[in-house]
A and B are shown apart, each in its own frame.
Chain A
Amino acid sequence: MRMIDALTRSMRASHLLVALLVAASLVFAAIGAAMGETFYLRLATEALIFAGLALSVDILLGYNGLLSLGQALYFGLGAYLSALVLMWVPSFWAAFAVTAVVSAVVGLIGGFIANRVRGVYFALITFGMAQVAAKVVYNTRALGASDGLIGVPVIDINLGIISFSSASPAGFFLFVLGVIVILYGVTAYLLDTPFGRLLIALRANERRVPFLGYRTMTLRLSAYVIAAMIAALSGALYPMLRGFVSPELLFFSTSGNAVITVIVGGVGTLAGALYGSVLLTLLKSVVGSYTEHHVIVIGLLFMGAVIFLPRGLMGIVRPAVERMLTRRSKP
């Protein structure tokens, strides 16, 4: 077989780092369940849910080179859809199916609008679309307006072999871990196909791509829809965890946090989105227990990360893992 190239090797290093995170999560879940822990298990579940949102930001920013400042639009869309479906039919599968279909359609429409422009304008349009959606939800009585939707029922998640309640801290944590790992797996698979490589080509030199025989709009739109669906499916997990959704999920703070997560974790590494989310959620909670001004600390941390670790956490860790993989493949 031919030699694997640098991009595939980087992706394998990401797989290894994600496997490590999964192993740590399993140990954490086991300890948490044994101790009858609730708070930290729920917090970790939330970290994983927001990791899914960060993953969608990294597809656009890290591969396509497009900064979305409105990814909360799709995260919030998924959360609201899931809440509405669950209040009507308490089925996880129904919530996920509706979210997948609707987010693909909305993503396609949003993608057509946002992908007409590039760079700063793309960031502004995605920001604007999310703001409009947030204001609409905030002012719609049927969606609970500023209070959001409360009273999403606890559901039983039936996976065929096992069945458990979304209220079970360890059970639901493991379930969310599984969903996020699948979303990561699908994303990583797609990005290491010729399609994924074309997204990298667009980031590197968009003007050359049409001369290779590809329509850039189709590529950008596909990436945008995939990212929208991943954000929405992550958002769909939120009401299962918290039992409510609120318009804050669509606000800029949600989009902005996801961007910070990816930058701190390492742009274009996918694993960085997951590690970044765990790190940021943990920090917010720890710092938040000392001072209510935790946003200031997070802000300073972000500035520090951009200045001193411009490639993010995984930008430092992953190359080391890659070197390890290279050595092992050349005995």
Chain B
Amino acid sequence: MTERTTTERAMAAHSGTAPILEVRHLSVSFGGLRAVDDVSFTVARNRITTVIGPNGAGKSTLFNLISGALRPRAGHVLIEGTDHTGEPPYRVQAAGLARSFQITNLFFDLSVAENLRQAAQILEPRSMMWRPIGASRAAHARVDELLERFGLTAKAQYPAGKLSHGEQRRLEVAVALACRPKVLLLDEPTQGMSHGDTQDTAALITSLAADVTVLLIEHDIGLVMSLSDHVIVMHQGQKLAEGAPTDVRNNPAVQAAYFGHA
């Protein structure tokens, strides 16, 4: 993993101003349905970009295409100018992209700390894979840091499956962040959360943008407006509009398709 990321960093440095993440004419169909249809956009470094759109607009499918969970039929995914289209998730991860899932996707019978340690292990050199678990100091340090930051220290030794829904959603984000990615894809991190938890999570995401680029899927419009630097609107698999939050909100096409009034 280490050789790979170093090469890619070198290549990115070489290409200079290549955007951290770029999607070009991405398309995929399921049966006759064009789930993602010719979508292109670039994501600005250390900003929060939010993808919004009604249910079935293709937001999660878009995330699956970018993260390597699905292979696109056409188009390209570029991370720092390097083409990673159709690569399996472990390659995309090595390029510096991590993601969380809309449906909580943890190791439910392992402890909270072990869930994070599993994700942070990639920070260690490959040779640590075959050393006793306690020898991975950097991974353990990262776990402690994340437990603190996500307010899960008291629950560190709980099985992840025993956490409340809100805590599981937070852990889901923490696990994605554990590998110190350059780009973080968060698929509805506040899904099903209480109002208070949602506000806390929003503050957390805002604080993340200091050192990681965030691409977010979010349904809570109030949150989208306050949180995002840039908004991409999807509708029926296509990109309907993009721009600053207020511009998008005032766009008549977006209001017709998404907010339901013209």
**A6, B122: Cα distance in complex, Å:** 21
State the total of A-B contacts with C-beta under 8 angstroms: 91
**A2 at the B interface (CB under 8 A):** yes
User: How many A residues are at the interface, by size bracket?
Assistant: 20 to 34
Q: A197's contact among B67, B69, B88, B118, by CB below 8 Å, is which?
A: B118
Contact check, A212 vs B131: say whether CB atoms are below 8 A apart: no
**A160 at the B interface (CB under 8 A):** no
**A200, B131: Cα distance in complex, Å:** 16
**B121 at the A interface (CB under 8 A):** yes
Query: When each residue 1-42 of chain A gets 1 if its CB lies under 8 Å from chain B and 0 otherwise, what string results?
Result: 111111110000000000000000000000000000000000
Which residues B108-123 have CB closer than 8 A to chain A? 108-111, 113-114, 117-119, 121-122
Q: How many residues of B contact A (CB 8 A)?
A: 40
Distance of B108 from chain A, by nearest CB (Å):
7
Contact check, B90 vs A5: say whether CB atoms are below 8 A apart: no
**A308 at the B interface (CB under 8 A):** no
Taking CB atoms, residues of chain A closer than 8 Å to B132 are 189, 192-193
Q: Chain A at the B interface: mostly helix, strand, loop or mixed?
A: helix
Max count, chain A CB within 10 A of own CB: residue among B98, B107, B134 = B107
**A198, B115: Cα distance in complex, Å:** 10
**A213, B129: Cα distance in complex, Å:** 13
Taking CB atoms, residues of chain B closer than 8 Å to A208 are 105-107
Contact check, B111 vs A6: say whether CB atoms are below 8 A apart: yes
**A330 at the B interface (CB under 8 A):** no
Contact check, B134 vs A8: say whether CB atoms are below 8 A apart: yes
**B89 at the A interface (CB under 8 A):** yes
Taking CB atoms, residues of chain B closer than 8 Å to A210 are 68, 88-90, 93
Taking CB atoms, residues of chain B closer than 8 Å to A205 are 105-108
Q: Please list the residues of chain B having a beta carbon within 8 angstroms of any beta carbon in chain A.
A: 1, 67-69, 88-90, 93-94, 98-99, 105-111, 113-114, 117-119, 121-122, 124, 128-134, 136, 139-140, 157, 175-176, 179
Q: Please list the residues of chain A having a beta carbon within 8 angstroms of any beta carbon in chain B.
A: 1-8, 189-190, 192-195, 197-198, 200-201, 204-205, 207-208, 210-215
Chain A to chain B contacts (Cβ below 8 Å), 14 pairs: A3-B157, A6-B111, A8-B134, A193-B131, A193-B133, A194-B128, A197-B121, A201-B118, A207-B105, A210-B88, A211-B67, A212-B122, A213-B90, A213-B122
Given A195-B130, A201-B118, A212-B122, 15 other A-B contacts at CB below 8 A?
Answer: A2-B134, A5-B133, A8-B134, A190-B130, A193-B130, A194-B121, A194-B128, A194-B129, A194-B136, A197-B118, A200-B107, A205-B105, A211-B89, A211-B93, A213-B122
